[in-house]
Amino acid sequence: MNTTGLITSIEALTPVDEREAASIAATLDRLRWPSDPFDESANDHHITASAFVVSTRGVILHRHRRLGIWVQPGGHVDTGEDVESAALRETREETGLVARHRRPPLLFHVDVHPGPRGHTHYDLRYVLTAPPFNPSPPPGESPEVYWFDYDAAVERAEPALRPALAALAVQTTTWNVSDYGDD
């Protein structure tokens, strides 16, 4: 996978807080390591993809099955998959919704955090739009997936996610999220 475009997108971000500034620096560094930054079996430090899914109903959060915290959909990047596609796939797998990237795709936030089994996740967070349908996660995924208005999302989300959601709330006031995929 070509990391040059990702590096450019990450470098263009304006961090929402010091945590994101540190995450951006760490992720840029990780993308320059010699090993595959996406392969979770090759290295315990790898890139993941997630999504802030928005519509006229607000933003989607789900209660993580193992961690019990409220977060956006996301997960590992499969072999041969790009991060933008991984964000779409993870959204569909965890919410049952078919979402779309904004045009052009919008990398909105970066966060580095501990993952399972002692791994470190360098999470690239995209903004996706979806129709305002009720989520319908498949069996095996967290059944607790809901649309939240931004105030409720900020209140409910795990603390490290709150600054990004607050920034997203401000940004989405300038977008037309009623036209699924056309904003």
Domain ranges of the chain: 4-172
Average pLDDT over residues 7-34: 97
pLDDT at 183 over 60: no
Rounded to whole angstroms, the Cα distance separating 165 from 150 reads 7
Half-sphere exposure of residue 61, counting CA atoms within 13 Å on the CB side? 21
pLDDT band at 182 (very low <50, low <70, confident <90, very high): very low
The CATH T-level fold of domain 4-172 is Nucleoside Triphosphate Pyrophosphohydrolase (3.90.79)
* Residue position matching structure tokens 């090993």: 35
Quote the distance between the C-alpha of residue 27 and its chain's center.
Answer: 14
Spatial separation of the C-alpha atoms in residues 18 and 120, rounded to whole Å: 18
**pTM of the prediction?**
0.94
Instruction: Write the Ramachandran bin of 3: left for phi over 0, alpha for psi from -120 to 50, otherwise beta.
Output: alpha
Q: At what angle are helices 18-31 and 162-172 packed, to 10 degrees?
A: 100
